[in-house]
Chains A and B, each alone.
Chain A
Amino acid sequence: MNKFNNANVLLEVKDLRTYFKTDNGILKAVDGVSFTVHEGETVGLVGESGCGKSVTNLSIMRLVPSPPGKIVGGEVIYKGTDIMTLSEKELRNIRGNKISMIFQDPMTSLNPYLRISTQMIETIRLHQDVTKQEARAKAIRMLQLVGIPSAESRIDCYPHQFSGGMRQRVMIAMALSCNADLLIADEPTTALDVTIQAQILELIKKISQEMGTAVILITHDLGVVAGMCDKVCVMYAGRVVESANTDDLYENPMHPYTKGLIASVPKMDGSREERLFSIEGQPPNVIDLPPCCPFHPRCNRTCEVCTHAYPPVKKTGDDHYVACWLHCSEEEREEALKAARKGEN
């Protein structure tokens, strides 16, 4: 049982759809994603490249470049207000203030021309009514919190004077400088080495516990998820195919994709098998996907209905949801098959 189930809902994403217009057709990067984040909870979004993890989070912040991108449907409810309906000005009160984001590559997300102090003070003064000195003091406090040694002098350095891990620390300090209650971390450790990754993950964990910040962690590394998250959503081709508490998901994966993903990670437990389990084929092209289960060409348990209709999301256990026809009843499958055939004719 997830200890956050009784906490207040902080963010609720409902049936979010973000499409991109391309020369080859409509690219449905995010196609009906729903999940909730409770206060203080860490939610993991996992999936392979191109499955829509990053676009989901850019959509939450309304940062999808438009055109070509467009959020065509869905709601993102943050503490009772729908972010999608806010004006640009109202949005600015939330973005970077209440909901902050850190990105994969800390070098490209910091401005190389400006000192760290300039960048941090700008963020703080944009959202809080403080003097420059107060903002600077706060920035130094934040840098100390994320473990930058001699923060008073380092704050006047330029980004290139920091190493990759230190830059990511600066990004975290900046993201949290305005008392955010939701931190979206988009592959925060992918560009870092294992030992530095361990440092940064420890830091995010520590901060989320101390400050009660909820975290959405986007990653493709199932090991990182296991250590960090309370709840996991597995994404495939723009949809959440399974979501569950972390323990439940690893112990009892329901969707064939989740099973395959977990089985195809080489493990360090000493049992070296000759061959790894591998999911055959490639992730699909999300342009003009047929209205069926996008995983069926790679699935080892495909049945007829899989090629005709998208499976509904089923509750299979405590807080465990899965979108797969295997977990639907015989009648439901037949009904869907009939309906699909009718539509085709």
Chain B
Amino acid sequence: MENKEIILSVRNLKQHFPIDEGGILKKTVGFIRAVDGISFDVYKGETVGIVGESGCGKSTTVRSIAQLYKPTTGEILFHGVDLCKADKDTLLKERRNIQMIFQDPYASLDPRMTVRNIIMEPLRTYNRRGLLEKKYTEDELEERVKDLMEKVGINKAFVNRYPHEFSGGQRQRIGIARALALNPEIILADEPVSALDVSIQAQILNLISDIQKDMGVTFIFIAHDLGVIQHISHRVIVMYLGKIMEISSSDELYSNPLHPYTEALLSAAPIPDPKIERNRKRIVLEGDVPSPDKERHCCYFYDRCSKRMDKCASCVPPMFDCGNDHKVACFLYDDRPVAEEADDTLTEEEQKLKAKEARKHKKD
């Protein structure tokens, strides 16, 4: 990307969910470390893909960016404003520029609202508060809704219909129209094509790239399908167990994967060509993704890695800069300069919990 203006930057984001036990006398016994200290930048007009297996924290990351969860620690800087610390009014203003598209087109549209109301709702909310460029009349809003429907390829005569009257692909288009309603700068797409059939998936992917070309919207795009990610993204983030394993440009990542996890992920993805498929050497990873409820002071991928060394067991690898905008968190590349130090400090709550446990231990 020639234009290197940073639009969003995430710094050391941690999102821990408490595990509670007991009924009325709730007691926190631990934390699920859904996202455990990640940092990355997003440039204007690009698509950043996030890949990883279920439970690796991809959805939590984008939800934290949209402030649907209050992050445990870390900063999310959007145009220099830290969204985590922003007050309600600032947040409302900034959120106009951050919209989401969700995975399940059946669950993400209110079944009791017409298409008009679904697409108009964000417009109305902001119009009422006078946060749009100008005050729009109801007719102008109606006009805008119809424009949006046309843009995403839904017949504007269907404006009075309900979601159940549409197929999955069409519903996803309605969800996209809703996300576009406020002319956002960045759209967070949380597995928008995973629930769709191949032929419909191609339609939606094309629609998304058209929108990006026309409107210059920045996308953060989550998918677990590596083919989809390569097709749509300029840069790719590979996540595992709440940590970033590798960040790189898409072409670089697919031609030259550095992290053993990325290699395994790429080799596990089926390729629709029997000749290639038959002669491929597949790296089959042993075991499952471990539970993210433990404190880790080793490489997060240690348990399943085929190239683990002694060093990996004792500390968390920092991000090594391998040049060409390619960063990887793996000690195999420890001869390269360090781009970011790993942070394995505990959050305040965790420290409290630990202190409490230590006291209890002492008493016993």
Chain B residue numbers with a CB within 8 Å of A198 are: 267-268, 282, 284-285
Answer yes or no: B197 CB below 8 A from chain A CBs: yes
The answer to whether B264 touches A48, judged by C-beta atoms less than 8 angstroms apart, is no
One of A68-76, A150-158, A222-230, A305-313 contacting the partner = A222-230
Select one of A165, A221, A276 contacting B270, CB under 8 A: A221
The answer to whether B277 touches A223, judged by C-beta atoms less than 8 angstroms apart, is yes
One of B100-108, B139-147, B200-208, B312-320 contacting the partner = B200-208
Select one of B169, B232, B268 contacting A282, CB under 8 A: B169
Answer yes or no: A260 CB below 8 A from chain B CBs: yes
The answer to whether A278 touches B272, judged by C-beta atoms less than 8 angstroms apart, is no
Complex interface bits, B137-180 against A, C-beta within 8 A gives 1, otherwise 0: 00000000000000000000000000000010110000000000
Answer yes or no: A199 CB below 8 A from chain B CBs: yes
Answer yes or no: A100 CB below 8 A from chain B CBs: no
The answer to whether A199 touches B285, judged by C-beta atoms less than 8 angstroms apart, is yes
Chain B 195-232 residues near chain A, CB threshold 8 A: 197-203, 205-206, 209, 224-228, 230-232
Complex interface bits, A238-265 against B, C-beta within 8 A gives 1, otherwise 0: 0000000011001000000000111011
The answer to whether B273 touches A266, judged by C-beta atoms less than 8 angstroms apart, is no
CA distance A264 to B193 in the complex (A): 13
CA distance A222 to B197 in the complex (A): 11
Chain A residue numbers with a CB within 8 Å of B202 are: 264-266, 276-279
The answer to whether B254 touches A278, judged by C-beta atoms less than 8 angstroms apart, is no
The answer to whether B282 touches A276, judged by C-beta atoms less than 8 angstroms apart, is no
Chain A residue numbers with a CB within 8 Å of B54 are: 193
Chain B residue numbers with a CB within 8 Å of A163 are: 288
Answer yes or no: B355 CB below 8 A from chain A CBs: no
A203 to chain B: closest residue by CB: B284
A194 to chain B: closest residue by CB: B268
Select one of A193, A227, A277 contacting B277, CB under 8 A: A227
The answer to whether A270 touches B226, judged by C-beta atoms less than 8 angstroms apart, is no
Chain B residue numbers with a CB within 8 Å of A222 are: 198, 272
Q: How many residues of B contact A (CB 8 A)?
A: 47
CA distance A269 to B269 in the complex (A): 12
Chain B residue numbers with a CB within 8 Å of A250 are: 272-275
B169 to chain A: closest residue by CB: A282
B168 to chain A: closest residue by CB: A49
Chain A 78-123 residues near chain B, CB threshold 8 A: none
Chain B 258-310 residues near chain A, CB threshold 8 A: 264-278, 282, 284-285, 288-289
Known A202-B284, A265-B227; judge A194-B269 contact (CB<8 A): yes
The answer to whether A268 touches B203, judged by C-beta atoms less than 8 angstroms apart, is no
Answer yes or no: A297 CB below 8 A from chain B CBs: no
Chain B residue numbers with a CB within 8 Å of A194 are: 53, 224, 226, 265, 268-269
Known A265-B227, A283-B197; judge A195-B264 contact (CB<8 A): yes
Answer yes or no: A275 CB below 8 A from chain B CBs: yes
The answer to whether B224 touches A193, judged by C-beta atoms less than 8 angstroms apart, is yes
List, sorted by A's number, 23 A–B pairs whose CB atoms are closer than 8 Å: A49-B197, A193-B53, A194-B269, A195-B284, A198-B282, A198-B284, A201-B270, A222-B272, A223-B269, A224-B270, A246-B274, A250-B274, A260-B199, A265-B272, A267-B271, A272-B230, A273-B231, A276-B205, A276-B206, A277-B202, A280-B203, A282-B169, A282-B170
- With A223-B269, A250-B275, A272-B251 known, 15 other A-B pairs at CB within 8 A are A193-B54, A193-B289, A194-B265, A195-B264, A198-B285, A199-B285, A201-B270, A222-B272, A225-B272, A227-B271, A246-B274, A266-B227, A267-B231, A272-B250, A275-B209
Which residues of A pack against B, CB within 8 Å? 48-49, 163, 165-166, 193-199, 201-202, 220-227, 246-247, 250, 260-262, 264-270, 272-280, 282-283
